[in-house]
Amino acid sequence: TVDIEPDHQSLARKAFTDHEVANRRFRLIAGAALDVLPKLSDAAYDIVFVDGDRLEYGECVEEGLRLLRPGGLLILNYALWHGKVADQTNEEDETIVVREALLALQEREDLAVTLLPVGGGLLVAAR
């Protein structure tokens, strides 16, 4: 996980530890996503979960795809963005960025993409 909030990092560590996930199976990195992601190794991760600043979704998706191993999953949270993404008249910046990220993923032939209408919407793309 990459998170700028120390409290989130502590909660994540506790959750992994409580569920007996081995330390070698997860990484907790403090920092802003677009500062940290470019420094991580290509094709080294099984899951990339994007859930941050909606205005950075496009860049985070591209970095996430670079980080994924074959067979890995990219998961985009708030893919429906409170129903705003489907409203083609909605021109809010965050909505446009999320919509563009979804379209970019759907157009890729190297991914199997599905949209799950749970919570704020989850887009799951399997490489």
d(CA 110, CA 70): 10
- For residue 12, the model assigns a pLDDT of 93
Question: Quick check: helix, strand or coil at residue 104?
Answer: helix
- For residue 42, the model assigns a pLDDT of 98
- For residue 1, the model assigns a pLDDT of 86
- For residue 82, the model assigns a pLDDT of 86
DSSP conformation letters of 46-89: EEEEE-S-GGGHHHHHHHHHHHEEEEEEEEEETTTGGGTTT-TT
Query: Nearest CA to 78 among 48, 119, 114, 44?
Result: 119
Widest Cα–Cα separation across the chain: 47
Show the low-confidence residues of the chain (pLDDT under 70). none
d(CA 1, CA 119): 20
Please answer whether residues 78 and 95 qualify as being in contact, where contact means their C-beta atoms are separated by less than 8 angstroms: no
